[in-house]
Structure 1
Amino acid sequence: MTGLGAVFRPQLAPERLRSVARAADEAGLEELWLWEDCFREGGVSTAAAALAWTERVRVGVGLLPVPLRNVALTAMEASSLHRMFPGRPLLALGHGVQDWMGQVGARAESPVTLLREHLDALRALLRGERLTVEGRYVRLDDVALDWPPDGPVPVIAGVTGPRSLRLSGASADGTLLTASTPPDGVRRARQLVDEGRSAAGRTDAEPHPIVVYLLAATGPDGPERVRAELAAEGVASVPGLGVAGDAKAVAEAVRRYAEAGADTVVLQPTGDEPDPEGFVRFVAEEVRQLVP
């Protein structure tokens, strides 16, 4: 079955999250994803709150920029969330927007190297290993978690370029793609991820799920809002991006992504979505029943 989720956009004030998270949980939404966009809302703090306010919905952070975090802190926070809310947190890590990283003095000379070192160390720490690492960016001296997770914790990489997609296959447990990825881009991403898995000898490992955001809007002004956002992102000319319409139209777009290789499609409302609670109910109650 194709997984289905929705995004709580950080253009909404943090205090709005409670009502959206509860609406998602009550409607039976599978996944609610949050963003740590600079300089809006913290990913771990909002995820912890959303998890505490709900009972069933999985809560993803897509994504945590690794230049902002020491890997030991990432491991501590990830493990704490998984021990308090087993099976429900989903954490994706990525390079971060380089201009934003420059604004806070955290821009790395080699973002790919930093992400690889962070992913490798994080996954080891979450497995309960004790690490001493002397990398270009990640340096640990006899570090282990006092409270490691009780079971396996998948670590997702949010990436776009070919090198980073191969890195995700080699060093992550799943890949998150942006809403600027058309169905053909999902196919290409799957190929590159598989190349990375093969090069790392991970072909017999657990499946590597692909998660992709899909910009979506409903209502009479939906097409206009989707067009405006795609134009603002500079991707209006890319075919296959975004969908506007009723549940049937949205479900058909989700199926196109699933056929291209996406395991989970996360519907991303426009930044000016007028009814975020209604949007998550629309995804859970109307779109879900039309997506196999």
Structure 2
Amino acid sequence: MERTGVGFMGIPTVPEMVAIAQRAETLGYESAWVAETRIARDAIVPMTADTAVPLYLGVTGPKALRLAGECADGVLLNGFMSTAYVSDAIRRISDGLRGSGRDVPDPEVIAMLVVSVDEDAAHAKDQARRLLATYLALFPNVAAATGLPSEQVAGTRERFFAAGPDEAARTVPDAWVEAHTVAGTPEECRDRIAEYRAAGATTAVLCPIGPDPMAAVEALAPR
């Protein structure tokens, strides 16, 4: 956002903006953030609906997860997260909901799952390995949230910028791929998706990688 001339908004502003978005209000609303940017004025438009439109927040860090529990109807979790992260995220979201005093159902928790499926499990994991290395190198917040050893992640990042994603992928062990993606044969991938559901994700959004995303979706269709 800073590259566009807009500073990052502070955490206290988020619940305020969520409430405005949920009500779809524009008239008579002013704040320092709105005065300084065009985003709020342009993005929130009048609309009518027979029922309230649920509002979902895409968050990753611990404070943002709790904040989402305080004010959102649902939470969209980042890709490349483990089942342990999902369980911990749900705990933080629930803490936020309890602290808010809202009398509403538990927020829906949507897990974005990076999927690489192939009858050759090793090939599927290698495809996911390259993308995982790229994200660890380019997105420090994602890397921190994974809980992976910081020194080893730093090595992946260094290798990425020195020699590119293929070489960086060589620093990513199978254990990282298996814990942070859904990669393997169709049966293995279906089992992994079930593990995310067991961890508490109410919905799994599959993000297939590889040359034929539709083939991946069809391979993972319920049997």
TM-score w.r.t. length of structure 1: 0.54
* 1:150 to 1:240, Cα distance in 2 relative to 1, 3 A: same
Separation in structure 2 between the aligned mates of residue 164 and residue 146 of structure 1, nearest angstrom? 27
Matched position secondary structure for 1:148: coil
- What's the counterpart of residue 29 of structure 2? 133
- What's the counterpart of residue 186 of structure 2? 247
- What's the counterpart of residue 197 of structure 2? 258
Matched, 1:122 2:35: no
* 1:276 to 1:199, Cα distance in 2 relative to 1, 3 A: same
Corresponding residue to 2:112 among 213, 216, 225: 213
Alpha-carbon distance, 1:252 to partner: 0.8
- Count of residues in Structure 1 that have an aligned counterpart in Structure 2: 177
Corresponding residue to 1:278 among 201, 204, 215: 215
Separation in structure 1 between the aligned mates of residue 46 and residue 108 of structure 2, nearest angstrom? 29
Matched position secondary structure for 2:12: helix
Query: 221-230 or 113-122: which moved more?
Result: 113-122
* 1:147 to 1:213, Cα distance in 2 relative to 1, 3 A: closer
Asked if the contact 2:22–2:52 (Cα under 8 Å) also holds between the matched residues in 1, the reply is no
Separation in structure 2 between the aligned mates of residue 192 and residue 231 of structure 1, nearest angstrom? 27
Name the structure where strand makes up a greater proportion of residues.
1
Unaligned runs of 5+ in 2: 137-142, 144-171
Percent of paired sites with the same residue: 28
Matched, 1:199 2:96: no
- What's the counterpart of residue 74 of structure 1? none
Unaligned runs of 5+ in 1: 1-100
Q: Deviations over 1:213-267 (max 9, x none)?
A: 1111112331110111111112546561112222211111111111111001112
* 1:148 to 1:225, Cα distance in 2 relative to 1, 3 A: same
Separation in structure 2 between the aligned mates of residue 154 and residue 109 of structure 1, nearest angstrom? 22
Alpha-carbon distance, 1:185 to partner: 0.7
Separation in structure 2 between the aligned mates of residue 175 and residue 230 of structure 1, nearest angstrom? 22
Larger radius of gyration: 2
TM-score w.r.t. length of structure 2: 0.70
* 1:264 to 1:151, Cα distance in 2 relative to 1, 3 A: same
Name the structure where helix makes up a greater proportion of residues.
2
Asked if the contact 1:114–1:136 (Cα under 8 Å) also holds between the matched residues in 2, the reply is no
- What's the counterpart of residue 229 of structure 1? 131
Q: Deviations over 1:184-237 (max 9, x none)?
A: 1111111111111111112x3123110011111112331110111111112546
Alpha-carbon distance, 1:135 to partner: 3.1
- 2:112 alignment partner AA: Y
What RMSD over aligned residues (CA atoms) do the two structures have, in Å?
2.5
Alpha-carbon distance, 1:133 to partner: 3.3
- 1:276 alignment partner AA: P
- Counterparts of 1:78-93 in structure 2 under 5 Å? none
Separation in structure 2 between the aligned mates of residue 135 and residue 146 of structure 1, nearest angstrom? 18
- Counterparts of 1:15-34 in structure 2 under 5 Å? none
Asked if the contact 1:117–1:135 (Cα under 8 Å) also holds between the matched residues in 2, the reply is no
- 2:80 alignment partner AA: S
Asked if the contact 2:69–2:93 (Cα under 8 Å) also holds between the matched residues in 1, the reply is yes
* 1:109 to 1:122, Cα distance in 2 relative to 1, 3 A: closer
Separation in structure 1 between the aligned mates of residue 213 and residue 194 of structure 2, nearest angstrom? 23
* 1:103 to 1:146, Cα distance in 2 relative to 1, 3 A: closer
Q: Deviations over 1:158-185 (max 9, x none)?
A: 0011111111111110000011221111
Q: Deviations over 1:13-68 (max 9, x none)?
A: xxxxxxxxxxxxxxxxxxxxxxxxxxxxxxxxxxxxxxxxxxxxxxxxxxxxxxxx
